Amino acid sequence: MNPGGNYIKNVEEYFISLAGEGIMLSSIDYDLIRGWRDGGIPEEIVMRGISRAFGDKGRKAMPGGSIRGLRQCAEFIKTCAEEYGYRSSSGRGDVTEAEAGRGADPELSITERLGRLIESEKRDAVRKYYSGLRARILKSEGGDELPLSRLIGEAMDEFFASLPDKEREKIEAEARGKLGERARLMTEKAYAESLVSFRNEILSKKYSIESVV
């Protein structure tokens, strides 16, 4: 298993799925991906930043409204990483006292941090999300190890499915709204991935779901 190789490939494929066929990453783009990886920024955070760059506000800030390389997404990824407590140059930023109390202590394993969150979380739905994610990670460690981004995605899917119908419809409508007019130009795969990415971003903010990676 080559986690580093999967990281680079996954980020590359996600960017190209949004940028469109015919786009090729440069050596500088690959250096950026390695820098994010070596800096400890999870690939799902990098993808979230890329998704933001392709959002309506992001594209308007680009010369000609076109994104041709990851360098144009770098600031969005940096902002997204900082929002989730990461620093693009050295991985995790300083842990605040509040974060330490919620399980964000970097000295703990991910499952230990999730255990703290489960104990402190008062909302049933969010507590079940943390419990489900921890169970997936433990199961994966005992067998074929799966990418953390996939496990988080599966747990988030389960959390979303547990919400009332009207709440799901509202969140899906908001996610579609973030895609805007460019949705018509996207491939089916890119549309589905971007919709889920925006949906998960909305869920994380709305329910104050902690990042444990």
In three-state form (DSSP H/G/I as H, E/B as E, the rest C), the secondary structure along 107-170 is CCCHHHHHHHHHHHCCCHHHHHHHHHHHHHHHHHHCCCCCCHHHHHHHHHHHHHHCCCHHHHHH
Report the C-alpha gap between 145 and 154 in whole angstroms: 14
pLDDT tens-digit map of 30-62: 888 988 988 888 888 898 889 888 875 545 455
CB atoms within 10 A of CB 18: 22
Provide the domain limits for residue 196: 105-213
Choose one of 63, 94, 125: the last residue of a domain.
94
**Are both 60 and 116 inside the same structural domain?**
no
pLDDT digits (tens, 9 = 90+) for 72-92: 889 889 888 888 777 644 333
C-alpha gyration radius of the chain = 17
Q: Which H or E run includes 91?
A: strand 91-92
Q: pTM score, two decimals?
A: 0.54
- Listed as own residue / partner, the contacts of 10-13 with beta carbons closer than 8 Å and 24 or more positions apart are 10/43, 10/47, 10/147, 10/149, 11/36, 11/43, 11/46, 11/47, 11/50, 11/70
The one-letter code for the residue type at 25 is: L
Question: Is residue 100 situated within a structural domain?
Answer: no
Nearest to 46 by CA among 18, 14, 21: 14
Domain count, the chain: 2
**What tens digit of pLDDT does each residue of 197-213 get?**
889 889 988 999 987 76
- pLDDT given at position 108: 66
Q: Are 53 and 67 in contact (CB under 8 A)?
A: yes
pLDDT band with cut points at 50, 70 and 90 for residue 27: confident
pLDDT tens sequence across 122-174: 999 999 999 999 898 888 866 566 677 788 889 999 999 999 999 999 999 99
Token digits of residue 91: 């991985």
Rounded-to-integer distance, Cα 188 and Cα 173, Å: 17
Q: Are residues 54 and 136 in the same domain?
A: no
Q: Which two tokens stand for residue 158?
A: 């389960």
Q: Is residue 208 part of a domain?
A: yes
Would 99 be classed as within a structural domain? no
Q: Are 33 and 73 in contact (CB under 8 A)?
A: no
Give the residues across from 99 on adjacent strands: none
Last residue of a domain, one of 38, 69, 94: 94
